[in-house]
Amino acid sequence: MELQSRIPSGPLEQKWDKHRFEMKLVNPANKRKYTIIVVGSGLAGGSAAATLSELGYQVKCFCFQDSPRRAHSIAAQGGINAAKNYRNDGDSVYRLFYDTVKGGDFRAREANVYRLAQISVNIIDQCVAQGVPFAREYGGLLANRSFGGAQVSRTFYARGQTGQQLLLGAYQALEKEVARGGVTMYPRTEMLDLVVIDGRARGIVVRDMITGAIKSHAADAVVLGTGGYGNVFYLSTNAKGSNATAIWRAHKRGAAFANPCYTQIHPTCIPVSGEYQSKLTLMSESLRNDGRVWVPKRAGDHRPPDQVPESERDYYLERRYPSFGNLAPRDIASRAAKAVCDEGRGVGSGGLGVYLDFADAIKRLGVGTIRERYGNLFEMYARITDEDPYEVPMRIFPAAHYTMGGLWVDYNLMSTIPGLHVIGEANFSDHGANRLGASALMQGLADGYFILPSTISDYLASAKAGPVDPSHPEFRRVEAEVAERTRKFLSIRGKRTVDSFHRELGRIMWDKCGMARNAAGLQEALGRIPELREEFWRNVNVPGSDAELNQALEKAGRVADFLELGELMCLDALQRKESCGGHFREEYQTEDGEALRDDDNFAYVAAWEHTGDLRSPRLHQEALDFEYVHLAQRSYR
Ligand SMILES: Cc1cc2nc3c(=O)[nH]c(=O)nc-3n(C[C@H](O)[C@H](O)[C@H](O)COP(=O)(O)OP(=O)(O)OC[C@H]3O[C@@H](n4cnc5c(N)ncnc54)[C@H](O)[C@@H]3O)c2cc1C
């Protein structure tokens, strides 16, 4: 396996334009001769499918929900970044680029990030043209707020429902193309494998989730926009259905998996309340624009918040990071919360919580303004906790939220399997070791509306792979493998539910490969995960049949994949003997407890090749060169 990043030469600002000029094109009249499979109808997949169809390609789009509108992207709350500089507060494409590279702790490709910042401005125009109702100022201009890791206001938002509104925009574009006949939509259809013929991605094998029928679809190129794998932790802010199956099975067919250990723990989630819980809820980072984070100064202080006088409160983010205060980036804010809870200063039952307090903001701005800005988030919090955040501070704690790792892609968003492209959260691309808030929507839409539709023509025009159809023996072979795996799940009839395995895996991942990791813990996890996997294949109970809607069967496939991916995450975390962004190895920290990078030895993307043996994948390194941003210890003080 060879990693060719295909980063264009020339000055940073000109790379993308130059590359677009140099890439091969497909003649407009020839586009309809090509079929492209897009798996995923979230912001990345939905925008890509609609745009590719607009360009004239024949598109088949797949999702496991009953409607593209239910993709996990709909959950995104806070906003989407763009370097529009509407506030005239010093923003620019270069500043967004710089903030993103620094925010990712210098573990992303400069060229990709610069392109992302350039395209960010087009995304807003595209979405406004579609009618996305972004918040506006009194005078009609689009409003902005701030997100972590930035000192400017560049986040566009639609109350606390930005993902939903953006997805409705992409969905309308998609449905228009469905009606025109350019896109065929396959809802309730799960991709269970990738078919590679003569070294190229030529199609997928899917299961109809209603009838259980297993079928193949052939194409000239395959695009995965299948989201992140945060649910490996069992408890996360992701939708319950989000999973790694599509990218994991593509990995096992030859696609390198990059930086699997880079996961984001979000600092502002509603704390875990008990063993029965199956999901965690995010309180958007946007709340930190006005909410102040604090804990009591004294360990073991259990007084209700209104009885802790101002002088006995520790606004620890404002104290430790005066320049960024409550808007310190997520990795830093999460670790700071963990640190105060480890000192016994956490709040709420179990002591795993910190306050997010709006009392000052309500006094300064009035309750009406706060309601206008965050009303739906406050309501959500009140419904879940039965506490009124207008009256008492919210309690929050870090939780697994986003995965920066994913399938390795080159500058064209193509994986190490020619013809297999990966977009959105499913690829590893632009966020390095820590994603800044409001940058995932930006990346997913940059990939889907703008980058992939340009770069895929280069592949199609050069590959000239010729026609193929599902009667090809390789499709038949993969279909048989998928059917056999399904049969196997149903035949085990063991004693434990799929969920019980998932919960146990999640606990191992959270304890040993979560907010903090160390060599001993990772070694322990690497001992326990294969044991758990072995028990799973011996003792799982999947009731029902494969000829009907069977959610236990669906989950079994996904959890089986998590049980393999979890091991790769721990191997990756173990080999990276440094701390960077969300990857905090306890052995490598500064005197102040901040992440201590080792640029001499680890300024690379770790891309793992599947060898057939889960215990010994092969590591490939893509060196990261920093020509424009000076490598420095990240400081938000
Ligand atoms: C609670 C929450 C709030 C967030 N808020 C923000 C925010 O304010 N700003 C921001 O920038 N980011 C935010 N994020 C992150 C952001 O929402 C996600 O990174 C982004 O929406 C992912 O989009 P996607 O298109 O890559 O994947 P998804 O939206 O997850 O879509 C995946 C698609 O792939 C399909 N799929 C997956 N596997 C298969 C398969 N095997 N077969 C068939 N189909 C499959 C699914 O059906 C779905 O259509 C938030 C995340 C969470 C969890």
**For residue 31, pLDDT beyond 90:** yes
Angle at 270 between CA 268 and CA 273, to 5 degrees: 145
Give the Å distances, CA to CA, from 77 to 10, 40, 158: 38, 20, 8
> Rounded CA gap, 130 and 236, in Å?
32
The answer to whether 517 is a known catalytic residue is no
**For residue 597, pLDDT beyond 90:** yes
> Rounded CA gap, 560 and 240, in Å?
16
Calculate the average pLDDT of the chain: 96
Residue 499's φ and ψ, nearest 5 degrees, are -60, -35
Instruction: Supply the pLDDT for residue 523.
Output: 98
User: Could you tell me which residues are beta bridge partners of residue 607?
Assistant: 258, 620
Instruction: Supply the pLDDT for residue 593.
Output: 86
Does 439 sit in the ligand 1 pocket, CB within 6 Å?
A: yes
> Rounded CA gap, 134 and 358, in Å?
24
Q: Which of 154, 330, 335, 395 is catalytic?
A: 330
> Rounded CA gap, 530 and 322, in Å?
45
Binned at pLDDT 50, 70 and 90, residue 244 comes out as very high
Q: Give the mean model confidence (pLDDT) for residues 37-48.
A: 98
Distance 52 CA to ligand 1 centre (A): 20
Contact by Cβ (8 Å): 624, 109: yes
Give the Å distances, CA to CA, from 92 to 114, 120, 284, 501, 635: 11, 11, 25, 47, 20
For residue 396, give the 3-state DSSP assignment: strand
Binned at pLDDT 50, 70 and 90, residue 427 comes out as very high
pLDDT higher for 324 or 60? 60
CA torsion sign for 159, 401, 277, 290 is negative
Give the Å distances, CA to CA, from 208 to 69, 183, 187, 340, 364: 19, 18, 9, 48, 55
Percent of the chain residues past pLDDT 90, beyond the cut? 92
Contact by Cβ (8 Å): 20, 454: yes
Binned at pLDDT 50, 70 and 90, residue 273 comes out as confident
- Specify burial of residue 300 (Cβ count, 10 A radius: 0-12, 13-18, 19+): exposed
**For residue 635, pLDDT beyond 80:** no
Among 195-204, 460-469, 511-520, whose mean pLDDT is lowest? 460-469
For residue 52, give the 3-state DSSP assignment: helix
Distance 84 CA to ligand 1 centre (A): 24
**For residue 6, pLDDT beyond 90:** yes
CA torsion sign for 394, 288, 236, 509 is negative
For residue 586, give the 3-state DSSP assignment: coil
Distance 548 CA to ligand 1 centre (A): 26
> Rounded CA gap, 97 and 628, in Å?
10
Does 287 sit in the ligand 1 pocket, CB within 6 Å?
A: no
Q: β-strand 80-81 against 155-156: which pairing, if any?
A: antiparallel
Ligand 1 atom nearest to CA at 81: 11
28-61 burial, b if ≥16 CB within 10 A, otherwise e?
eeebeebbbbbbbbbbbbbbbbbbbbbbbbbbbb
Q: What is the pLDDT of residues 383-412, one digit of tens each?
A: 999 999 999 999 999 999 999 999 999 999
> Rounded CA gap, 452 and 218, in Å?
19
- Specify burial of residue 88 (Cβ count, 10 A radius: 0-12, 13-18, 19+): exposed
Secondary structure in 3-state letters for 147-176: CCCCCCCCEECCCCCHHHHHHHHHHHHHHH
Is the full-model pTM beyond 0.85?
A: yes
Distance 41 CA to ligand 1 centre (A): 9
> Rounded CA gap, 271 and 384, in Å?
11
Q: How far is CA 403 from the centre of its chain?
A: 4
Residue 77's φ and ψ, nearest 5 degrees, are -105, -60
Does 85 sit in the ligand 1 pocket, CB within 6 Å?
A: no
Does 76 sit in the ligand 1 pocket, CB within 6 Å?
A: yes
User: What dihedral angle (degrees, nearest 10) is formed by the CA atoms of 553, 557, 558, 559?
Assistant: 90
